[in-house]
Structure 1
Amino acid sequence: MTEANKTVRKEKEIIIMGLSLTYAVCVGLFSLIRYFSEDYVIAVLDLVLALFGLYVFLHVLRTRTTEFPALAIAIISVAGTIATIILKGPDQVYWAYPSVALVFYLLPTRQALLLWSVSAVVILFLLIELPLIKLVSIAMTLFITSFFCHLFSSKMYQQHARLRLIANEDVLTRVKNRRAFNQDTLNLGSTDSEVSAILLDLDNFKLVNDYYGHATGDDVLIQATKLVADLVGNEGCFYRIGGDEFAVLCPGCDFDHAYQLAKNLHDAFASSEINSQFKITLSLAVAQKYQDESVREWLHRLDNALYKAKKSGRDQIVKAIRY
Structure 2
Amino acid sequence: MADREQARKEKEIIVMGLSLSYAIGVGLFAAIRYFNHEYVVATLDVVLAAFGLYVFVYVLKTRSTKFPGLAIAIISVIGTIATIALKGAEQVYWAYPSVALVFYLLPTRQALLIWGVTATIILIQLIDLPSIKLISIAMTILITSFFCHLFSSTMNDQHNRLRHIANQDVLTQVKNRRAFNHDAAMLERSPDFVTAILFDLDNFKQVNDTYGHATGDQVLKDVTLLVNQFVTGNEHLYRIGGDEFAILCQGKDFDHAYQLANTIHQEFSQSTINQEHNITLSLAVAQKEMDESINEWLNRLDSALYKAKKSGRNQIVKAIRY
Show the 5 A alignment for 1:71-110. Answer: 71-110=70-109
For residues 192-248 of structure 1, give each alpha carbon's deviation from its aligned partner in whole angstroms, at most 9, with x where no partner exists: 221111000011000111111111111111111111112213351110011000000
The residue number in structure 2 matching 1:69 is 68
Counterpart of 2:114, as a letter, is: L
Counterpart CA distance in 2 for 1:260 and 1:235 is 15
Post-superposition offset of 1:38: 1.2
Counterpart of 1:119, as a letter, is: T
Does 1:219 find its partner at 2:218? yes
Does 1:112 find its partner at 2:116? no
For residues 77-129 of structure 1, give each alpha carbon's deviation from its aligned partner in whole angstroms, at most 9, with x where no partner exists: 11111111111110111111111111111111111001011101100001011
Counterpart of 1:110, as a letter, is: R
Show the 5 A alignment for 1:121-270. Answer: 121-234=120-233, 236-270=235-269
Gaps of 5+ in 1: none
Gaps of 5+ in 2: none
| Matched residue SS, 1:60 | helix
Counterpart CA distance in 2 for 1:126 and 1:224 is 64
* Residues 195 and 250, structure 2, Cα contact 8 Å, conserved in 1: yes
Counterpart CA distance in 1 for 2:183 and 2:56 is 27
Show the 5 A alignment for 1:11-90. Answer: 11-90=10-89
Post-superposition offset of 1:155: 1.4
Show the 5 A alignment for 1:308-319. Answer: 308-319=307-318
Post-superposition offset of 1:5: 7.8
- RMSD across aligned C-alpha pairs, in angstroms? 1.4
For residues 265-314 of structure 1, give each alpha carbon's deviation from its aligned partner in whole angstroms, at most 9, with x where no partner exists: 00011000000000111000001111111111111110010000001111
Worse overlay, 243-252 or 36-45: 36-45
Give structure 1 regions of 4+ aligned residues with deviation exceeding 4 angstroms.
4-9
| Matched residue SS, 2:317 | strand
| Matched residue SS, 1:73 | helix
For residues 21-56 of structure 1, give each alpha carbon's deviation from its aligned partner in whole angstroms, at most 9, with x where no partner exists: 111111111111111111111111111001000110
Counterpart CA distance in 1 for 2:190 and 2:230 is 26
Q: TM-score, normalised by structure 1?
A: 0.97
Worse overlay, 189-198 or 248-257: 189-198
For residues 63-82 of structure 1, give each alpha carbon's deviation from its aligned partner in whole angstroms, at most 9, with x where no partner exists: 11111111111111111111
Counterpart CA distance in 2 for 1:235 and 1:284 is 20
Counterpart CA distance in 2 for 1:164 and 1:9 is 13
Counterpart CA distance in 2 for 1:187 and 1:141 is 43
The residue number in structure 2 matching 1:320 is 319
Counterpart of 1:294, as a letter, is: S
| Matched residue SS, 2:247 | strand
Worse overlay, 289-298 or 306-315: 289-298
CA spacing shift, 1:85–1:5, aligned 2, 3 Å: closer
Counterpart CA distance in 1 for 2:225 and 2:157 is 28
Counterpart of 2:190, as a letter, is: T
Counterpart of 1:226, as a letter, is: L
CA spacing shift, 1:252–1:263, aligned 2, 3 Å: same
* Residues 4 and 182, structure 2, Cα contact 8 Å, conserved in 1: no
The residue number in structure 2 matching 1:282 is 281
Q: TM-score, normalised by structure 2?
A: 0.97
| Matched residue SS, 2:230 | helix
**What is the percentage of aligned positions where both structures have the same residue?**
70
Counterpart CA distance in 2 for 1:66 and 1:190 is 19
CA spacing shift, 1:315–1:235, aligned 2, 3 Å: farther
CA spacing shift, 1:8–1:131, aligned 2, 3 Å: closer
Q: Matched residue pairs, number?
A: 322
Counterpart CA distance in 2 for 1:298 and 1:41 is 59
